[in-house]
Amino acid sequence: MDEDFDYSHVPPSFTHCFQASCARAGGCLRRLAALHIPPDVWKVEAVNPRSVPGDGSECPHFITTRKARIAWGTKHLVDHVPHKVAVAIRKELIRYFSKTIFFRIQRKERYLTPAEQDYIRAVFRRYGVKEEPAYEYYTEEYPFDCQRRSR
């Protein structure tokens, strides 16, 4: 069991898995969450065991326990980019994320998943910027919000 696992980070709608016999249970975030449910949590969502084929080796519900590199803060994202290009990049990112989400990301109220970081890198490349996007800092987090991208 992962001793640094903090159940308070598990979103309320996260689906847990109680299949101890599953071939992938040891590396599955859904199983890890199920093993750490505190006694005061009386209700959780769970994977239907009948929806898991065979021994679970090809489970469609599997999410890795490998932590994701999460980026925080974009205040200096385009500081080293020519002004005209920076304005275009910023407009495209606001269009993609929405104005509200973009500014929440900028203020570090919301993080960027690895897939979102890849998208931003692709926008930079489309505008001819070879430099990597610069974020304020990174953390390693379990991929609760990155479920589909972490399979």
CA 123 to centroid of chain Cα atoms: 19
Query: What pLDDT score does 150 carry?
Result: 31
In the predicted structure, residue 148 carries a pLDDT above the cut 50: no
- Stretch 55-81: mean pLDDT, rounded? 91
Please give the model's pTM, rounded to 2 decimal places.
Answer: 0.76
Query: What pLDDT score does 2 carry?
Result: 65
What pLDDT band is residue 99 in, cutting at 50, 70 and 90? very high
Left (φ > 0), alpha (ψ -120 to 50) or beta: where does 90 sit?
alpha
In the predicted structure, residue 19 carries a pLDDT above the cut 60: yes
Query: What pLDDT score does 130 carry?
Result: 95
CA dist 102 → 10, 24, 70, 98, 125 (Å) = 24, 36, 16, 6, 19
